[in-house]
Amino acid sequence: ILNIELARTGAGNPGPTAKSMLELGDPEIDWVKLSEAQGVPAQDAWSAEEFDAALERAFAEDGPQLIAAHVPAR
């Protein structure tokens, strides 16, 4: 999405610096810690089974919850 929006700006051919600003993995973001810092309970899920369990726990609580679903790259 970010790369599409960059292309839509009409900025021409973006260089490596512009492209690096759109990379969400550098530095790595700890979404659970970021969520908890904002007062929102959060948990990691590294497999479908962990996601199912996290979803059940989230539905059992009131208020917002974050589940950081880690999906392997293709």
Cβ contact 22:6 at 8 Å: yes
Domain spans in the chain, listed from the N-terminal domain onward: 2-69
Q: pLDDT (tens digit, 9 = 90+) per residue, 21-71?
A: 888 777 889 999 999 999 999 999 999 999 999 999 999 999 999 999 999
Q: How many CB atoms lie within 10 A of CB 6?
A: 15
pLDDT at 4 over 90: no
pLDDT at 11 over 80: no
Short-list 36, 71, 66, CA closest to 54: 66
- pLDDT of 15: 86
* Paired tokens of 68: 């950081």
| 24: DSSP letter | T
* Paired tokens of 47: 């497999």
- pLDDT of 18: 83
